[in-house]
Amino acid sequence: MRFPFCLYHQLLHTLLSIAYSMHYICRLNYKKGEIVELEIHDFAFGGKGIHRMQTEQGNYIIFVLNALPGQVVKAKIQKKRKRYAEARLVAVLKRSELEETQVFQSISGAPYITLPIKQQQTFKTAAVMDLFQKFAAIENPVALYDEFINSPNTFHYRNKMEYSFSVIRHDLNSDQEKDDFGLGFKRTGTWWKVENLDSDSGMFDEQLENELHKIRLWLQETKLPAWHPPKKEGFFRHLVVRKSFSENELLINLVTSSEGIDQFNKIAFKDYLIELLGNRLAGYIHTVNDDVADRAKLDNGPSGLIWGKDRINENILGLNFEISMQSFFQTNPKSAEKLYSKVIEYATESSNLEGQVIMDLFCGTGTIGQIIASQIPTAQVIGVDIVESAISNAKKNAKKNGLNGINWFAADVGKFLSEHPNYKGRIDTIILDPPRAGIAPKTLQKVIALGANRLIYVSCNPATQARDIAVLTSNGYELVKFSLVDQFPHTGHIESIGAFKKITLELDENSSNFMP
């Protein structure tokens, strides 16, 4: 008896369907730590490439940090959920057609340097629009979009760089791990091994990075060992360099342990740095850090100035700022000028701030507050930040710039607002510039309770800003407009500045909700 063709076709279709389903079931059965090969299809906020897999339940997404659309990559699964997984980039197997060849040495801190800057900006803008629509509940964020502010310098824009030593080096030619004396950047996804920086990365100072291999060889000849991260032992740990763009100077901090410090000739190293950098060397500091924690602040520990000065100067919009090795300061000062100018524009475009109270929260070294005070002398500026050293620097810089009318407070922002209720109803404008984690919910409620007419919210993390926008909107503040600032070209980071105005809320008689 011959098998009916229609039944054969139906059986074949069923078997193929089962095989197709099993194929994806197997592919979805990833384990943490597994290395997989993926094609990247799209770009998400924070520099995450997206790999989409079609399943019977819909799209399954794998996010791969620092991967680009069009690349085929090896990635290590780090987290797995029902509808998505997160992975880290291990290696690029095939480059994207969007990429271009660069003359700079590739480093983990500039994953998109081969991507044309306009394409980077397109990806970043689209990712923020998607965030604001999904998490800030803004139906059409494009309608509120003001402008994309480019970094004046897309290469060599950083004013600080931290290089790591390790006896475990990843060789870029052989793609193998070696026992050696390494100085450069941690290899992507590792904390124990470095890749030597032998030439300019395109991100920091061209001369310094082209000479860094000479510094490495000089230190290696001392016979003192580089740090061994797994064993938590060794001598050389980090080389931290700050740069002044306005004075074209470099401040260098060599961070070591105390193990064998008596055998290290600090003066000879000073002489070598002067020979190498000439009058560009502003100063040389030596810090002893015996903290075994790899993620601890690099320059924790006692520091001594060996030669020169312990700080550099930078000029922002006509104001001078002294920057010590420990100070927080904008990493891209030329772009920061544009960011601050946009903040001032938003703060002043809808009202006259003469004589008004302006509060600069999370003020750091007080750059924004000082710029406002210099441009609007009669404004009453209040600066608040939890870091005492930052407030100390803010006071010194303000005095240096002849701005004596600013009130500075070293305090937790939330506690400060609770302890100073006298400002409630008196503040015209609040400038918010919180850390990447955004504003703590209780602190944000205290900010809202102050009743300022306007808020200018500067964020280095639009994801947390989107969350806070939703809270502000439900509590009587309307987002009027926002701009994006490309402070960090060739990375997944982008800054956002939002201008909010206070609106009148009325209580809905049929519920406990406030309605605009």
Report the distance separating Cα 439 and Cα 470, nearest Å: 13
pLDDT by residue, tens only, the chain of 516 residues: 454 544 444 554 444 444 444 444 445 568 888 999 999 999 988 889 999 988 777 889 999 999 999 999 999 999 998 889 999 998 899 999 999 999 999 999 999 999 999 999 999 999 999 999 999 999 999 999 999 999 999 999 999 999 999 999 999 888 899 999 999 999 987 899 999 999 999 999 999 999 999 999 999 999 999 999 999 999 999 999 999 999 999 999 999 999 999 999 999 999 999 999 999 999 999 999 999 876 546 667 789 999 999 999 999 999 999 888 888 788 999 999 999 999 999 998 866 778 889 999 999 889 999 999 999 888 899 999 998 888 998 999 999 999 988 999 999 999 999 898 888 888 999 999 998 888 999 999 999 999 999 999 999 999 999 999 999 999 999 999 999 999 999 999 999 999 999 986 554 444 344 344
| SS3 state of residue 242 | strand
Report the distance separating Cα 314 and Cα 234, nearest Å: 35
Pairing relation of β-strands 454-459 and 427-432? parallel
| DSSP for 249-294, written as a single string | EEEEEEEE-STTGGG--HHHHHHHHHHHHGGGEEEEEEEE-----T
Helix (H) or strand (E) holding 400: helix 388-400
253, HSE (Cβ side, Cα atoms, 13 Å): 25
Report the distance separating Cα 155 and Cα 158, nearest Å: 8
For 81-188, list the strands marked E by DSSP: 84-94, 145-149, 160-171, 176-186
Q: Which pLDDT does position 423 carry in this prediction?
A: 86
Helix (H) or strand (E) holding 156: none
Instruction: Say if CB 377 and CB 479 are below 8 A apart.
Output: no
Report the distance separating Cα 282 and Cα 456, nearest Å: 36
From the list 385, 386, 348, 349, the residue with the least C-alpha distance to 367 is 385
Report the distance separating Cα 431 and Cα 411, nearest Å: 16
Report the distance separating Cα 102 and Cα 19, nearest Å: 44
Find residue 92's DSSP bridge partners. Answer: 73
Report the distance separating Cα 179 and Cα 124, nearest Å: 39
Q: What is the pTM of this model?
A: 0.86
Give Cα separations from 252 to 180, 227, 266 (angstroms): 23, 19, 13
Instruction: Say if CB 373 and CB 405 are below 8 A apart.
Output: yes
Identify the DSSP state of 364.
T
Helix (H) or strand (E) holding 59: strand 58-65
Instruction: Say if CB 338 and CB 497 are below 8 A apart.
Output: no
From the list 308, 315, 324, the residue with the least C-alpha distance to 247 is 315
Give Cα separations from 5 to 8, 9, 12, 19, 201 (angstroms): 5, 6, 10, 21, 65
- The torsion angles phi and psi of 307, rounded to 5 degrees, stand at -160, 150
Instruction: Say if CB 314 and CB 245 are below 8 A apart.
Output: yes
Rg (C-alpha) for the chain, rounded Å, is 27
Report the distance separating Cα 330 and Cα 340, nearest Å: 11
Distance in Å from the first CA to the final CA of the chain: 77
Q: Which pLDDT does position 299 carry in this prediction?
A: 65
Q: Which pLDDT does position 5 carry in this prediction?
A: 47
| DSSP for 192-234, written as a single string | S-EEE--S--SSS-HHHHHHHHHHHHHHHTTTPPBPBTTTTB-
Catalytic residue chosen out of the listed positions 6, 26, 363, 460:
460
Tokens of 469: 């926008």
- What domains are there in the chain, each with its CATH number? 27-99 (2.40.50.140), 119-153+326-515 (3.40.50.150), 160-316 (2.40.50.1070)
Report the distance separating Cα 251 and Cα 168, nearest Å: 27
Report the distance separating Cα 35 and Cα 73, nearest Å: 10
Number of other CB atoms surrounding residue 34 within 10 Å: 14
Question: Exposed, middle or buried, 465 (CB in 10 Å: 0-12/13-18/19+)?
Answer: buried
Q: Which residues of 233-263 are buried (b: 16+ CB within 10 A; e: fewer)?
A: ebbbbbbbbbbbbeeebbbbbbbbbeeeeee
460 included as an active-site residue: yes
Q: Which pLDDT does position 298 carry in this prediction?
A: 64
Report the distance separating Cα 500 and Cα 28, nearest Å: 44
* Residues listed for the chain: 516
